Amino acid sequence: MNVLVIHGPNLHLLGKRRPEIYGKATLAQLNAALREHAAWLKVKVRIFQSNCEGEIIDLLTANAAWADALVINPAAYTHYSYAIRDAIEALELPAAEVHLSDISKREPFRRISVIKPVCQAQFMGEGIFSYLKALDLCAGIR
């Protein structure tokens, strides 16, 4: 099982960006937890972070043949990127949408996900565990 993990814009700032909302862990610490959990699940991961919509689409395209599943935190693109939505749909990647915070309980603009309709599952509000649960789903244990 090969899982492509993509972190969207501003997630490189984890640890110092709104820690009361996104937690104190840095992106490096989050990625270390993902790699450790993936190893335990016997899942291979490729992990990327990008601040650019087009680059995320290029990463999806370049890794689509390798990936059996996608775990994506589209960050702010969640709320308006029809381009990323279309890429996930077009590449027919089984996908789990992930958020550190609970977007359903935040500002009105964050409550909308244009990515959700092309994903099999949505995990949110559990910090790093949102990602780990998405990996569990990919590995078939959830």
Nearest CA-CA partner of 28 in 43, 40, 16, 42: 16
Residue 39 or 52: the one with the smaller Cβ distance to ligand DQA is 52
- Binding to ligand DQA by residue 75, rule CB under 6 A? yes
22 among known catalytic residues: yes
Question: What sign does the CA torsion over 89, 91, 92, 98 have?
Answer: negative
Say whether 37 is catalytic: no
Sign of the Cα torsion 82, 87, 90, 95 reads negative
Q: Residue 20 burial (CB < 10 Å; 0-12/13-18/19+)?
A: exposed
Stretch near ligand DQA under the rule CB under 6 A, chosen from 30-38, 48-56, 83-91, 93-101: 93-101
* Distance separating alpha carbons of residues 9 and 25, to the nearest angstrom: 16
Say whether residue 12 binds ligand DQA (CB under 6 A): no
Catalytic residue of the set 7, 22, 77, 131: 22
Q: In this chain, which stretch among 33-41, 60-68, 72-80, 87-95 interacts with ligand DQA, using CB under 6 A?
A: 72-80
Site residues, ligand DQA (CB under 6 A): 10, 73, 75-76, 78, 99-101, 103, 110
